[in-house]
A and B are shown apart, each in its own frame.
Chain A
Amino acid sequence: MAEITLTQVGKQFGDVVAVHPLDLKIADGSFTVLVGPSGCGKTTTLRMLAGLETSTAGTIHIGDRDVTALDPKDRNVAMVFQNFALYPHLDVQRNIGFGLEARRVPRAEIRAKVKEAAELLDMEGLLPRKPGALSGGQQQRVAIARAIVREPEVFLFDEPLSNLDAKLRVETRTELLRLQRQLSATMVYVTHDQEEAMILADELIVMDKGRVQQAGSPIDVYRHPINEFVARFIGSPEINMFDGELRDGQFTSELADLPLPDVREGPVRLGVRPDDVRRASELRDEHAVGHLRAHVEVVEILGAAAVVYLRTGGRELRAVVGEGEVDDIQEGHEIEVAFDRRRLHAFDPATGERLGA
C-alpha cells in the first residue's frame, strides 16, 4: 500500500480545462472519496491516477515512484469501473485471474489467489459462471475480486455502486468498508452521491468545476464548509440559505434577525442546516436565536427522523426533527422554531467564501 501525491496535476481537452492544476496527498491505507456533481473533474482525476488519461500538467507519485509517464499496467493500481467492465466471454474464474495471467503468474498460483479472493467476497459458487448469468451485485463483486487479486498498491473506484439498486448499494457499501479495513488498502473512490461519500470516507475531497473545493474529514467538511458550494452540496436535505445585512454584530433579514458576532459588516448569506433548525422548545435558551413562527406544509417521515418543510415570510425552510417530536407537528399548523447559534454558517453572497468562524 502506498501514499499518493498529485502535484499540480491538471487536464485540458483542447480549450476546455477539465481539471485545474491541483495538489492532493492521499494517505497510505486511507479511504479517500472524491465527490462532486457531474462534470466536476473527479472522474478525470481518477482516470489520470489510473493512467487511462494522460495529465496535461503536473506529476503523480505512488509511494516514491514517479508514475506520470507510465502506462496503467505499470502503475500497479487496480480499478473497479461503474459498469463493471467484465470480460463477457470469460467465466468468473478467468475474469478474476485475467490480470495475473497477463503477468505470466503460474497457473497454480492464480487458482489459489482467485480462490482466496472469492472466499473473501463470499462468492466461490459463482466461479464457473459467465458474467451474462450474474446479477448486477454479483458482477460488481467479480469486479472487486479482480482488483483484490492483483494486490495493487492502490484501489481505484469509479462510481461502482451507481448501477446497483438502492438496497444493494447500501449492502455493498458496508462490505467495501469492511474490505478496506481488512486489507488496510489505500482506496480512492469517486461518487456523485454525497451521502455515500460521507459514509465511506476517511478523507473527503469535494470538487466542483475542475477544482478541489475542500478536503478534510467528513465531519469537518460538514461542520465547517469552506464555501457556499460545499455547504450546499454536502448534507441532505440541503442547507437553508437566506440573504441579509450584517450591521453592528446583528444580522437582519426578511426571515429573522439574530446576533452574528465575528463576521464582517456588509451583505451576508446565512446558512443553517435543517438539523440545526429546531422547535424553539427543544433548544436551550442560550443556544437558540432567530425565533420565528412558521407554517408546516409537509412532513416527510423517514423513520428515525422526519423532514419538516416549513413556510415563513414567503420562503421555504427545511428542518429535521427526531421521531419522538413528530407527533406534535401537524401539516397545516404553525410551530415555533429557532436556530442553533453554535451551528450557523455565514458566506459572502458575492464570492461564496465562508466568513468568520
Chain B
Amino acid sequence: MSRTKEPSPVTSRSVRSRLFTALRLGFVVLAVIAVLVPFLWLVASSLKPAPALSAGPFEPFRPQLGWWRDVLASDVRVSLVRSAVVGLVTVGISVVAGSLGGYAISRFGTGGRTLRFGVLSGQMIPPAVLVIPLFLIAFQFGLNDSLPAVIAAHLTFVLPLTTWFLIGFFDAVPREYEEQARVDGYTRFQAFWKVVLPQVRPGIGAAAIFGFILSWNDLFYALILAGGQARTLPVAIAGFNTFRGVELGEMSVAILLSAVPVLIASFFVQRRLIQGLGAGGLKG
C-alpha cells in the first residue's frame, strides 16, 4: 500500500481548495444573478414610460410613476383587498381549528396515527378533483363568483398544512411543562394558555404567514370559483395577459403589489420554516 505518498505541498491545500472555493462562489453568484434579474426587470418595467417598454432592454429611460398611479387607482386595488380578506379568513380559521385539533392529536393521540398523517393527505389531492364539486356546490347556493367559495377552497390546503406544522410544534414542547403547571394548581386550559401557547406562538406565527402566502398566491381556485366580479389579485394579474406592450407596465406594477408584501413576510418566516421542515416534514 502506498504509505508514504509525497504530494508536493504546492498542489495540496492552498491551490486546490482555492480553486474549489472560486468555483463554488462563482456558482452561487450565478444563481443569485439568475434569481435577481427577473425582479430587477420587473421593477424597471414598472417605471418605464410606454415607448421605452417596446424599445430594447438596455436603452436608458427616465423613470416615471404613471403605471403605479393607474394601477393603484384601478380595480386592482380592490382585488388586493379581496386577496387579503380571503387570506386572513382562511388563516384565521386554520389556526384556530388547527391549534385545537393539533393539540389534541399531539397530546392525547386523538385519532391515532391515521389522523396524524391523514391530515397531510389533504395536501396530496389534486386541485382538479376538489374544484369541480366546490364549483357545483357554490353554483347551487348561488355563491359562484364569490369569496366564500374561494375561502372554502383555500382551506383545503392551508388547514392541513397549518395543522401539520402545529402538531410538530406542540410535540416539541415537553409534556412536563403542563404537568408541572397542573400540579401547581392550574386547570388544563390555563396550563395550555399560560405554558404551552407562549412557546408555540412564534411557530404559529410562522405557519400563519406561510398559509397566508399560499392563499395569497393561488390562481387555480380563484380563477374558477371567483373569476369574474370577485376576482382576487392573481386573477387580476392574469387579466393583463395580452400582448400589447402597453399592458406590460401595469402588469409589472400589479405583480410587484402581489410579490413585495410576500417577500417581506417571507424574510421573517424563513428561519421558522426550516425548523418546521426539520421537525415535522423531512423526518416525518
Is A178 part of the contact surface with B, judged by Cβ < 8 Å? no
Q: Which of A68, A74, A100 contacts B5 (CB 8 A)?
A: A74
Cα separation A71 to B3 with both chains bound (whole Å): 15
Count, A-B residue pairs, CB within 8 A: 31
Query: B176 within 8 Å of A by Cβ?
Result: no
| Residue in A63, A69, A151, A153 whose CB lies within 8 Å of B1 | A151
Question: A139-157 vs B: 1/0 string, CB under 8 Å?
Answer: 0000000000001010000
Q: Count of chain A residues with Cβ under 8 Å from any Cβ of B?
A: 16
Name the distance in Å between A188's Cβ and chain B's nearest Cβ: 18
CB distance from B20 to the nearest CB of A (A): 12
CB distance from A115 to the nearest CB of B (A): 16
Q: Which 3 A-B pairs have the closest CB atoms?
A: A69-B9, A69-B13, A74-B7
Q: Is A52 an interface residue (CB 8 A)?
A: no
B241 at interface by CB-CB < 8 Å: no
Whether the pair B3, A69 counts as a contact (CB closer than 8 A) is: no
Of chain B, the residue at the smallest CB distance from A67 is: B9
Using Cβ atoms and an 8 Å threshold, which residues of chain B touch A103?
Answer: 1-2
A74 to chain B, nearest CB (A): 5
We find that the number of chain B residues with CB closer than 8 angstroms to chain A is 11
Alpha-carbon separation in the docked complex, A110 to B2 (Å): 14
When the two chains form their complex, are residues A65 and B4 in contact, meaning their CB atoms are under 8 A apart?
A: yes
* A contacts, CB < 8 Å to B: 54, 63, 65-66, 68-71, 74, 76, 100, 103, 105, 109, 151, 153
Tell me, yes or no, whether B140 is within 8 Å of chain A by CB: no
Q: Which residues of A contact B74 (CB under 8 A)?
A: none
* B14: nearest chain-A partner, CB-CB: A69
What B residues does A54 contact at CB under 8 A?
A: 13
Identify B3's interface contact among A68, A70, A76, A109, CB under 8 A: A76
User: How far apart are the CA atoms of A74 and B3 in the complex, in Å?
Assistant: 10
Q: Can you name the residue of chain A whose Cβ is closest to the Cβ of B16? A: A71
B5 touches A76 (CB 8 A): yes
Chain A residues whose C-beta falls within 8 Å of the C-beta of B242 in the assembled complex: none
Given contact pairs A70-B7, A151-B3, A153-B3, a sample of 6 additional A-B residue pairs in the complex whose CB atoms are under 8 Å apart? A68-B9, A69-B13, A69-B14, A70-B13, A76-B3, A105-B1
Contact with A along B102-125 (1 / 0, CB 8 A): 000000000000000000000000
Interface positions, chain B 1-49, Cβ under 8 Å from A, are 1-7, 9, 12-14
Chain A contacts of B7 at CB under 8 A?
70, 74
